[in-house]
Structure 1
Amino acid sequence: MSDTDSRGGAERIIEAAIDLFGRHGVHGTSLRSVAQQAGVSQALVVHHFGSKDGLLRACDHHVASVTRANKERTVAGGPQLDPFQTLRQLEKSQPLLRYLARALTEGGERTRELVDEFVADAHDYMRLAEEAGFVKPSATPHERTIVLVIWSMGALAMHSHVKRLLGVDFLADDAPPESLGPYLRPMLELFTQGLMQEGAFDQMTEMFEVPESISEREA
């Protein structure tokens, strides 16, 4: 396939960049190495993305878009969805996970924008999940969504400790979906059964309730 195939070239460039940025980091990856792995000229990389920063932003958007699409497909599957469907998608997305883990630990303005995009997308699929009856309504839907995104991203950013303590390697190329069990089982237990006994948190919950008079003034 030649450089003149602009759509195919751009897609191959993003795929190669995600793999290399995830493995070697931003500073350890050059536009030349991305072009070589994608099988295109460096001039074509510059033509599509302008600079390394432009390529990074395109990669960020692609990773966020793929994650959003996977979540929406899972929710659309309904109550009878395949319980390993998301895990199989995850198994095929190791380069994206490596890229995201790098982005979260390298920090900076780009990382803030990426996290904000994940939060915005999460609001949409959490709403869909609530409408589908998978997720309970929340008195603080915005804050709940942010906490869930931070939890999931935090686990990925600390993937080396997850591997050390649970034996679960999020970034392994050859690990079957079932190998995530030591991490996913307790997570699903927390999500479906909760942690505290009924009534144990009532007093603390009342501490954070917004008085009705304040709610009415803000409305």
Structure 2
Amino acid sequence: MEPTPPADERILRAALQRFAVEGLRAPLRAVAQDAGVSAGLIIHHYGSREKLLEACDRRALQITRENKREVLTGGSAAMLAQLAEIARFAPVVGYVLRRLQAGGPLAQQLVGDFVADALVYLAEGEAAGLISTSRDPEARARVLTEMALGALVLQMPSQRDRLDLVGLPTWLRSFTDSLVAPVLELYTTPLLTDASLLDAYLAAAPPGDATAPKDGTPS
């Protein structure tokens, strides 16, 4: 039997779930009740709602980073294992959806942090021989991140005030099942049959443009 987590960890887990269900303005007393602690203990450990939200951001980034790294260095076995347990990511996915739904500088910062992490684990995937090199790794990381987050927002199961966290795992499974095969096909078998469009665009790009091939990278 897993030992009871310390209070700060129980608060963080409860906050991810409560913010996912009710949005980022969910009452801290509800978070405290979910965690089995007093509201004062939340302030003791995290100081304020904003600091608690920042901790939730860090946990969402950590979970995403660890699981992406595992797939991009562990290959198909790691991917299939994660897909089999997709439901356990529901609170984190719900929280990220709420953060994006709220918009503003903090949401932009979270997206930027996702991009920075993607840059790292894509490089690790390159080192493991599972990812191709890029002429512009940072731009690639940003596009992939924005595509992934944008797909989540477009399919967001709740534009309402309250998210059905009980139904979120089912939605997450359906969303993932509809996405994985075409995305893997797109990444494995390029949509375009040759590089003529890319070559033409790069040839027409102004000197010094960020999209131009960099020394030592493929064209």
Per the alignment, residue 142 of structure 1 pairs with 138
Equivalent in 48, 57, 60 of residue 60 of structure 1 = 57
Per the alignment, residue 200 of structure 2 pairs with 203
How many pairs does the alignment contain?
Answer: 199
Tell me, in whole angstroms, the C-alpha distance in 2 between the residues paired with 1:198 and 1:14: 48
Q: Tell which deviates more after alignment, 197-206 or 133-142.
A: 197-206
Measure how far apart 1:110 and its partner are.
1.3
Matched residue of 2:132: which SS? coil
Tell me, in whole angstroms, the C-alpha distance in 2 between the residues paired with 1:90 and 1:208: 42
- The TM-score, its normalising length taken from structure 1, stands at 0.81
Per the alignment, residue 14 of structure 1 pairs with 12
Equivalent in 165, 170, 173 of residue 169 of structure 2 = 173
Tell me, in whole angstroms, the C-alpha distance in 2 between the residues paired with 1:184 and 1:119: 20
Tell me, in whole angstroms, the C-alpha distance in 1 between the residues paired with 2:202 and 2:53: 42
Measure how far apart 1:160 and its partner are.
3.5
Per the alignment, residue 41 of structure 1 pairs with 38
Find out whether 1:85 has 2:81 as its counterpart.
yes
Tell me, in whole angstroms, the C-alpha distance in 1 between the residues paired with 2:86 and 2:179: 14
Unaligned ranges ≥5, structure 2: 158-166, 215-219
- Structure 2: which amino acid aligns with 1:9? A
Tell me, in whole angstroms, the C-alpha distance in 2 between the residues paired with 1:193 and 1:15: 39
Equivalent in 66, 89, 93 of residue 69 of structure 1 = 66
Matched residue of 1:160: which SS? coil
Find out whether 1:186 has 2:205 as its counterpart.
no
The percentage of counterpart residues that share the same residue type is 32
Q: Which has the higher contact order (CA 8 A, sep 6+)?
A: 2
- Alignment RMSD (CA, Å): 2.6
- The TM-score, its normalising length taken from structure 2, stands at 0.81
Equivalent in 24, 29, 37 of residue 26 of structure 1 = 24
1:147-178 CA deviation, whole Å, 9 max, x = no partner?
Answer: 111111111111238xxxxxxxxx73236857
Tell me, in whole angstroms, the C-alpha distance in 2 between the residues paired with 1:80 and 1:199: 28
Question: In 2 relative to 1, CA 26–186 (structure 1 residues): closer, same or farther, beyond 3 Å?
Answer: same
Find out whether 1:114 has 2:117 as its counterpart.
no
Question: In 2 relative to 1, CA 123–40 (structure 1 residues): closer, same or farther, beyond 3 Å?
Answer: same
Unaligned ranges ≥5, structure 1: 162-170
